[in-house]
Structure 1
Amino acid sequence: MPPYWPVVRDRVFGRVLPGLALSALGDGMSAVAIGWLALQYAPPHQRGLWIGLAVAAYTLPGAAGAILLAPLLRGRGGAHLAALDAGLRAVLLGAVPVLAWTGGLTIGRYTALLACSALLSAWGSAGRYTLVAQVLPTELHLPANALLTVLTEAATVAGPMLAGLLIAWLGAAAVLAVDAATFAVLAVSFALVRTPAPLPARERRLAGFAAIRRDRRLFAIMGLSFGFFLLFGPVPVAVPVYASSAQEVAMLYTAFGVGAVTGAIATGHLPRLPLWPAAIGSVLGFGLLLLPLGLGLPHWADLLTLALAGLAWAPYPTASMSLFQRLTPAACLQSVLAARGAVLVVSTPLGTLLGAPLVQATGAATALVACGGAIVLLGLVAVLVRVLRPLPRGRFDERKASGCTP
């Protein structure tokens, strides 16, 4: 029986999957529309600045929300957290097209709405993966995580193409209206889910950052993830400069997306996948496949290389998330996943910011080679750490972690 079938048929998780798929597609469309709408409203001499601020505003505030809103949100059910995040996104993103169509939108209001809409993003992500751990047995965690990765990566293939058509027809604001509607559907889907009762007062005081810091295995996978996403950050800056046309950029991203979707589907068919070797191997494979992009190969070779890079990338989100779910007890899971989201939501944008001067100074080809080499080095360091300092086995010990005590 295919590994995804029990996940899809689960009476709780199966209900939210259509909303998750629809919302992923909306986000894939917004990836194009957010920068395009900022371009339209920004002053001509400050377009680069405002586009960067708008793109960052859609993700970075989630890190602040994970810390500042923790006293209010710890202990809530996974579905409740996901519903709150989706509801906030729906309302504030929906306000953008309303203001645009009534003449009240400015670049400042636009950026502020994007920033406020992202405040619960780390908690929303934590809620989705907490729900996986709450309602599905352990043996289904990996295929469920892989399925969520498939939805995300597939949206990066289909979303931008649909966004381009809709922007040409109705404008970029219409794309955000569609994205807001998909978030509204997702919010309703999660609001209808009934999960176990909220955690008692003692468990609401759990601190995700403290829990990660106290457990060497969680700290290791967090460090590996931060480094991997940070070093990946310059790639979105280098690829448009490296390509010779907008059509070539689209083809390169599509090739990567096709490889990532294929790899995510394949990962779900490996229920006994060794998670640590898969995560480290994904880092090494991706870094090695990034190196040839800077060597001036023919266009078809670049497409093939990026497709293989997507294939190598795909196991990482699934394996790393499965490690967090497997190593963290239920009492700590929400706080730990929210802390994870707060850290990782910073890593890729930070890498992108650092990548801009790197590409400017060295050129796109050299920057791609440098990123590939740095990612390979990160993977080799992870291998050495695993060999020289083997990590303890078993689950996280609540009693020894200050983050899990009153």
Structure 2
Amino acid sequence: MGPDLSRVLRSSPYWPVIRHPTLRRVLPGFAVSALGDGMAVVAVAWLAIELAPAADRGVWVAFAAAAYTLPGALGAVLLGRLLRHRSPARLVAWDAALRAGALGAVPVLHAFGALGIEGYVALLAVSSVLHSWGQAGVYTLIAGVLPERDHLAGNAVLSGLGAIATVVGPPLATLLIAFGGPATVLAVDAATFLVSAVTFLVAVPRGAAPERAADAASRSGGFAVIRRIPALSGLLALSFAFFFLFGPVYVALPLHVSDGPGAPAAVLAAYYTAFGIGAVAGSVLAGFLGRWRLWPTTAGIVVGFGVLMLPLGLGAPTAVSVVCFGAAGLLWPPYSSLSTALFQRSAPGALLPQALAASSAVRVLSVPLGTALGGPLVAGLGAAGTLRVSAAGIALVGLAAAAASLRAARPRPEPTADTDTAEREAGKGSAAGARP
């Protein structure tokens, strides 16, 4: 490494993240499980298509995609009393271990001819019960071991690893599907989560993240603190609408591809790979957005994302729609990283895991709800029509957020003591804090 390159790396916002002793140990495990999830993006839908009756495959693809994440929202609420005081590393490890066990059962049952579509969806649902808490754990760990100024870069590193996995995962999944079928991909996915579970259990020393003061809040305390801070509640509402409207794409896109000419699995993988390439670039850029205004940035991301999705449903050539889908991927990580940092900075320290779990639950809930709606939409509008409705809806939500930001920019009364910090973040536009 030349001196100039070394100097650039050391001056980048990512250097404190990749050089932190605790994060150096856990990021490889996180990256491995992210790769498994990148492969599962293709395999979950493809195995559902294989197992489901031909007449009902759209509905079952929607159920499978929703089951892979939806129960995490329920777990965020019902398991709060049990999990809210657990260490961040244990939250991540327990989530990964449950996913490894449930997903590992899929290829075993499939090999013995005992896997039906109902059992498959049930196993996907079990695998996701702790998902919101696992997400809360990893971002709480980031907030605990890094100073506030490095939270955005830490979030962006996690997003970047996920984005790289989205680039590498689908082509690997395509190869495995060709030689062993989609159940083989889920076997590999289960193994990667096992690696992640072991990593977070053994590689995070006790006391690596400062202990947070015990609180007497109820299991819904995370939602309560979000309601008390207008900047967070408004951002969460925007995120819910954004991800809900994106949900039908997980149903419509595989069916849109499978109904077309060529090799369906390879074409579907090309879409997801292009999205991942864009997301890798977006993750690199996200760490440098600390001085951008929050609401103009988030509103612009949502509007741009919707516009870039329109060619998928308007009959554009495959090459054009793949490129546009990749450009939409460029906008995804900055939105996620920025909004998470706002939660990390604005939520009270003792309630940060609960607030992050509540935020994750809303995000986890919004996409599968939209995905579940995708089945009926595809049945009524067709795959292309569903893609058009989804894209237009996202753009309109972004425009509504932009209008709200203009109203918020007008002079208003002095904020109260409870919301002063968050209002300054939103009003002055310190985009260093955000994630959907």
Q: Which residue of 2 aligns with 1:253?
A: 272
Structure 1: which amino acid aligns with 2:421? R
| 3-state DSSP of counterpart to 1:314 | helix
Percent of paired sites with the same residue: 52
Is the Cα contact below 8 Å between 1:77 and 1:198 reproduced in 2? no
Q: Which residue of 1 aligns with 2:235?
A: 221
| Residue 344 (structure 1) aligned with residue 370 (structure 2) | no
Q: Which residue of 2 aligns with 1:402?
A: none
In the superposition, relative to structure 1, how do residues 370 and 215 fare at CA in structure 2: closer, same or farther (>3 Å)?
Answer: same
With 253-262 and 349-358 compared, the bigger mean Cα shift is at 349-358
What is the CA-CA distance between 1:240 and the residue it aligns to?
4.1
In the superposition, relative to structure 1, how do residues 37 and 365 fare at CA in structure 2: closer, same or farther (>3 Å)?
Answer: closer
| Residue 332 (structure 1) aligned with residue 342 (structure 2) | no
- For residues 313-337 of structure 1, the C-alpha deviation after alignment (integer angstroms, 9 at most, x for no partner) is 3311111111111211211111111
- For residues 14-37 of structure 1, the C-alpha deviation after alignment (integer angstroms, 9 at most, x for no partner) is 211001110000011122222333
User: Which of 82, 90, 96 in structure 2 is aligned with 1:72?
Assistant: 82
User: Which of 37, 40, 56 in structure 1 is aligned with 2:47?
Assistant: 37
Runs of at least 5 residues in structure 1 that lack an aligned partner in the other structure:
398-406
Is the Cα contact below 8 Å between 1:75 and 1:203 reproduced in 2? no
What is the CA-CA distance between 1:87 and the residue it aligns to?
1.4
What is the CA-CA distance between 1:70 and the residue it aligns to?
0.9
| Residue 212 (structure 1) aligned with residue 226 (structure 2) | yes
Question: For 2:98 and 2:14, how far apart are their aligned partners in 1?
Answer: 30
In the superposition, relative to structure 1, how do residues 304 and 105 fare at CA in structure 2: closer, same or farther (>3 Å)?
Answer: closer
| Residue 24 (structure 1) aligned with residue 43 (structure 2) | no
Structure 2: which amino acid aligns with 1:78? P
Is the Cα contact below 8 Å between 1:260 and 1:313 reproduced in 2? yes
Q: Which residue of 2 aligns with 1:354?
A: 373
What is the CA-CA distance between 1:171 and the residue it aligns to?
3.2
User: Which of 397, 404, 408 in structure 2 is aligned with 1:385?
Assistant: 404
- For residues 235-270 of structure 1, the C-alpha deviation after alignment (integer angstroms, 9 at most, x for no partner) is 333434555342444333332222122111111233
Question: For 1:101 and 1:363, how far apart are their aligned partners in 2?
Answer: 34
The residue correspondences of 1:160-175 to structure 2 (distance < 5 A) are: 160-175=170-185
Q: Which residue of 2 aligns with 1:117?
A: 127
Structure 2: which amino acid aligns with 1:19? G
| 3-state DSSP of counterpart to 1:59 | coil
Alpha-carbon RMSD across the aligned residues, in angstroms, is 2.6
Runs of at least 5 residues in structure 2 that lack an aligned partner in the other structure:
1-10, 424-436
Structure 2: which amino acid aligns with 1:70? G
TM-score by length of 2: 0.83
Question: For 2:254 and 2:56, how far apart are their aligned partners in 1?
Answer: 20
| 3-state DSSP of counterpart to 1:163 | helix
In the superposition, relative to structure 1, how do residues 170 and 308 fare at CA in structure 2: closer, same or farther (>3 Å)?
Answer: closer
In the superposition, relative to structure 1, how do residues 252 and 201 fare at CA in structure 2: closer, same or farther (>3 Å)?
Answer: closer
User: Which of 276, 281, 289 in structure 2 is aligned with 1:262?
Assistant: 281
Q: Which residue of 1 aligns with 2:431?
A: none
With 379-388 and 93-102 compared, the bigger mean Cα shift is at 93-102
| Residue 395 (structure 1) aligned with residue 405 (structure 2) | no
The residue correspondences of 1:67-146 to structure 2 (distance < 5 A) are: 67-146=77-156
What is the CA-CA distance between 1:198 and the residue it aligns to?
5.8
| 3-state DSSP of counterpart to 2:143 | helix
Is the Cα contact below 8 Å between 1:291 and 1:368 reproduced in 2? yes
In the superposition, relative to structure 1, how do residues 47 and 384 fare at CA in structure 2: closer, same or farther (>3 Å)?
Answer: closer
Structure 1: which amino acid aligns with 2:193? F
Q: Which residue of 2 aligns with 1:400?
A: none
| Residue 370 (structure 1) aligned with residue 389 (structure 2) | yes
| 3-state DSSP of counterpart to 1:197 | coil
User: Which of 312, 316, 334 in structure 1 is aligned with 2:331?
Assistant: 312
| 3-state DSSP of counterpart to 1:202 | coil
| 3-state DSSP of counterpart to 1:119 | coil
What is the CA-CA distance between 1:144 and the residue it aligns to?
1.2
With 212-221 and 43-52 compared, the bigger mean Cα shift is at 43-52
Q: Which residue of 1 aligns with 2:426?
A: none
Is the Cα contact below 8 Å between 2:295 and 2:405 reproduced in 1? no
